[in-house]
């Protein structure tokens, strides 16, 4: 095999890239990570909560017991799940808590990416990976046969046996250099987020959580002015991450910018008290893939593998968002496949094909496949974001408002509200959604 500067080069130090680098370095390979941000996490954004299972597996398998859950810079263990339907005049919230949410291996945690990503990068560095920060990879180097054999960055050419593309969303390298298609506008969303500082005990009392625990909230409806998408909130140790996601297609049809939507969302009577008195400390925006299974591009090339968000491995199910646990798993599997191929002396597309097989057998592709119909179902289910939050508000008003006039049985009060929307149409839409979920 050709003599190269490194065994493996990783593009990007997000969840996928840092884990790929960590695993490959632990397997004794020479690894270079090139990150365009000034430091790992400088440009990264998430809601965000990470489901911990895939990260736990990496450290259980590779850290020889040195890294446990307590060592990871998580913010709060999420023990409350809240889903809200928001109408301009009302809000209906389900609050779920269960001991199952905290069980190790099923647990999830809020994270702040600047801290979290730097810590992941440190683990990869301690394992032996080298990092260059503040330089973007501009091109892939290819040999005469078209096989990827390195990168061009900051005017330098650096060679490797395998390049792992972990550049995240808006994946220009994957598109431009590997020929993967750009996701369609309705399969892409924009997310914006603000972080508000609040003392830990204030967070715990506002969200009814025990010490060190926290809540995740998702809103549908007026949060995005009735457009497809929604609001999100995650409680951190001493701050709250609050934001919105809306599809690019819908935003292009709206007179309102996503910034205005966020301003209006923060003023909603059910949201304003949550951040009352809190200090705004951070503002960020990022693209997010909503296309699901049908958006997964080619993952394996001669000398190159694509991971994480660069491969659109993200799912927004309306009641949960997952991308980071998929990124971690794909980073691990890419590193393992790359190391096996290097050891076998064949880093061609055929030699690296075990990555695709490992991915197909993993929860990543299997879960995305299970929910393959959901992105389109959600995109076309406009009433979920407009009429249903209003209907739910009317139903609950009919239950809880007492004005001294003679009342009727609940059924007589509720049925006209539901029938106005078309009972069978509603049942059909709910059935379709349940099938897709």
Ligand X SMILES: Cc1cc2nc3c(=O)[nH]c(=O)nc-3n(C[C@H](O)[C@H](O)[C@H](O)COP(=O)(O)OP(=O)(O)OC[C@H]3O[C@@H](n4cnc5c(N)ncnc54)[C@H](O)[C@@H]3O)c2cc1C
Using CB under 6 A, list all residues that contact ligand X.
Answer: 11-17, 34-37, 43-50, 136-137, 166-169, 173, 191, 193, 243, 245, 286, 288, 308-310, 314, 321-325, 327
Q: What are phi and psi of 226, to 5 degrees?
A: 85, 0
Indicate the helix (H) or strand (E) that contains 218.
Answer: strand 213-221
Task: State the nearest-atom distance from the C-beta of 97 to ligand X, in Å.
Answer: 18
The interaxial angle of helices 324-344 and 53-62, nearest 10 deg, is 30
Task: State the nearest-atom distance from the C-beta of 26 to ligand X, in Å.
Answer: 18
244-283 in b/e form (b: 16+ CB < 10 A) is bbbbbbbbeeeeeebeebbebbbebebbeebbeebeeeee
Which alpha helices (H) appear in 170-227, and where do they start and end?
172-178, 200-206
β-bridge partners, 220: 85
Q: Which is nearer to ligand X, 45 or 124 (CB)?
A: 45
Task: State the nearest-atom distance from the C-beta of 394 to ligand X, in Å.
Answer: 31
Q: Which is nearer to ligand X, 168 or 221 (CB)?
A: 168
- Pairing relationship of beta strands 77-87 and 213-221 according to DSSP bridges: parallel
Task: State the nearest-atom distance from the C-beta of 100 to ligand X, in Å.
Answer: 19
Q: Which is nearer to ligand X, 12 or 351 (CB)?
A: 12
User: By C-alpha distance, which of 363, 261, 386 is closest to 315?
Assistant: 363
Determine how many CB atoms are found less than 10 A away from the CB of residue 437.
Answer: 14
Say if CB 22 and CB 124 are below 8 A apart.
yes
CA distance 240 to 249: 28
Q: Which is nearer to ligand X, 75 or 167 (CB)?
A: 167
Q: Does the CA dihedral 353-356-362-364 come out positive or negative? A: positive
Q: Which is nearer to ligand X, 122 or 387 (CB)?
A: 122
């Amino acid at each position: 095999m050709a003599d190269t500067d490194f065994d493996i080069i990783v593009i990007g130090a997000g969840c996928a890239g840092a884990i790929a680098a960590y695993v490959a370095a632990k397997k004794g390979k020479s690894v270079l990570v090139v990150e365009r941000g000034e430091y790992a996490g400088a440009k990264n954004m998430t809601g965000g909560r990470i489901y911990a299972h895939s990260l736990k597996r990496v450290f259980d398998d590779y850290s020889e017991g040195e890294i446990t859950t307590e060592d990871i810079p998580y913010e709060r263990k999420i023990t409350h799940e809240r889903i809200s339907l928001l109408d301009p005049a009302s809000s209906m919230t389900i609050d779920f808590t269960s001991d199952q949410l905290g069980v190790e291996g099923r647990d999830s945690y809020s994270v702040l990416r600047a801290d979290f990503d730097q810590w992941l990068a440190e683990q990869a560095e301690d394992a032996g990976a080298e990092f260059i920060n503040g330089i973007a990879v501009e091109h892939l180097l290819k040999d005469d046969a078209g096989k990827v054999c390195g990168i061009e960055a900051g005017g330098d050419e650096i060679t490797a046996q395998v390049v792992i593309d972990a550049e995240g969303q808006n994946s220009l390298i994957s598109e431009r250099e590997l020929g993967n298609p750009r996701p369609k506008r309705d399969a892409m969303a924009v997310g914006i987020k603000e972080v508000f500082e609040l003392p830990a005990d204030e967070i715990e009392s506002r969200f009814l959580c025990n010490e060190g625990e926290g809540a995740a909230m998702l809103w549908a409806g007026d949060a995005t002015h009735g457009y497809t998408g929604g609001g999100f909130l995650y409680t951190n140790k001493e701050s709250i991450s609050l934001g919105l996601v809306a599809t690019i297609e819908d935003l292009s049809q709206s007179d309102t910018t996503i910034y205005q939507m966020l301003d209006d969302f923060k003023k909603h009577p059910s949201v304003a008290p949550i951040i009352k008195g809190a200090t705004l400390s951070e503002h960020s925006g990022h693209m997010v893939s909503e296309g699901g299974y049908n958006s997964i591009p080619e993952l394996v090339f001669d000398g190159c593998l694509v991971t994480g968000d660069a491969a659109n491995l993200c799912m927004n199910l309306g009641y949960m968002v997952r991308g980071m646990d998929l990124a971690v798993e794909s980073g691990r599997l890419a590193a393992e496949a790359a190391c096996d191929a290097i050891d076998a002396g064949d880093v061609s597309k055929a030699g690296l094909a075990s990555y695709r097989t490992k991915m197909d057998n993993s929860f990543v592709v299997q879960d995305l496949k299970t929910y393959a119909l959901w992105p389109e179902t959600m995109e076309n289910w406009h009433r979920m974001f407009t009429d249903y939050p209003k209907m739910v508000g009317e139903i609950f008003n009919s239950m809880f408002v007492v004005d001294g006039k003679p009342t009727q049985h609940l059924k007589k009060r509720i049925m006209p509200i539901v029938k106005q929307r078309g009972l069978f149409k509603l049942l059909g839409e709910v059935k379709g959604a349940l099938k897709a979920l």
